[in-house]
Amino acid sequence: MIKEPRLRFTREEQTDPALEKPIRRAQKAAVRADKAQARIPKKKVRQTVMDPDTGKKTTKLTFEEQAKPPSKLSHAVRGAPANALLAGAHKEIRKSEQDNVGVESAHRLEESAEGGARLAAHSCRSQKLRPYREGDSLRMIHWKMTAKRDELVTREPPEDTRPLPVLTFDHFGLPAVVDRTLDRLEGTSLALLEQERVHEVRWLHPETGALRSFRVGGERDWEACLAAILSDPAPVRGRSILEQALTREGGGAIYQIHVTGKEVPHGEA
């Protein structure tokens, strides 16, 4: 078997802090590939060679690499233990998420969408690959294919047909309540970004009632959204976003998560 060359990085790339994590992943992938190749079973082959001058026969023992037989398990059978583990993981998450409103909201959103995601799992296996482009998310890099081709390869993200998460909140109330609301709003938004979920943040101007809406697809978007929130006044009384029906531009389903600064007694679900 021909051994695939390892991915090589220049000195500038190795000293770039932004590439430190991708380089470490690529190196680990190469080490795993070497270990996998070393585990390939060897087949013993006896060869008898005759010396043409003396007529003496000698036997040599050689080893040839033998390809592993393909698995007979289907995707459905292989997915069954994974689904059981996933259910157990959600159970453990629920035990510790009560004190973190942001993680709890994002987890419920993720759990509600996983049923449909499993039905479309076959499309994820056949997703297209393309060369890396500047600005692509490092999470979409296909590290195994990158190690084989000696260049960065990116997965084309599948079309997201899940409901759009919409975070809503009321920008008025006592200062302590407003602060807790913004803290929980930030935690929920960042938790969604960790899951690579594009979402929207909506609220009403507390005095004029004008709808304020920001689409958040990255941390810079969230920073711009937070700056807009802080530019609005935060009186004790104001207009609530709950008074307005939510719609999605272009149609489609939405998933509303209303964030408040209300204190939840410990142990209350």
Is the four-CA dihedral 178, 176, 258, 89 of positive or negative sign? positive
Which pLDDT does position 31 carry in this prediction? 80
Query: Residue 254's closest CA among 161, 185, 186?
Result: 161
The residues facing 190 across adjacent strands are: none
Read off the pLDDT band of 269 (50, 70, 90).
very low
Read off the pLDDT band of 110 (50, 70, 90).
low
Residues in Cβ contact with 103 at an 8 Å cutoff, skipping those fewer than 6 apart:
93, 97, 187, 191
Helices (H) and strands (E) in the chain, counts: 8, 8
How large is the average pLDDT for residues 209-216? 93
Q: Is 146 exposed, middle or buried (0-12, 13-18, 19+ CB in 10 A)?
A: buried
Which pLDDT does position 159 carry in this prediction? 65
Task: Please provide the average confidence, as pLDDT, over all residues in the chain.
Answer: 76
Which pLDDT does position 122 carry in this prediction? 46
Rounded to whole angstroms, how far apart are CA atoms 82 and 107?
Answer: 18
* SS3 of residue 165 by DSSP: strand
Domain ranges in the chain are 164-258
Which pLDDT does position 94 carry in this prediction? 58
How large is the average pLDDT for residues 62-78? 53
Q: Where are the beta strands (DSSP E) in the chain?
A: 42-50, 57-65, 129-131, 153-155, 164-168, 199-204, 211-216, 254-258
Read off the pLDDT band of 120 (50, 70, 90).
very low
- Which residue would you say has higher pLDDT here, 153 or 111? 153
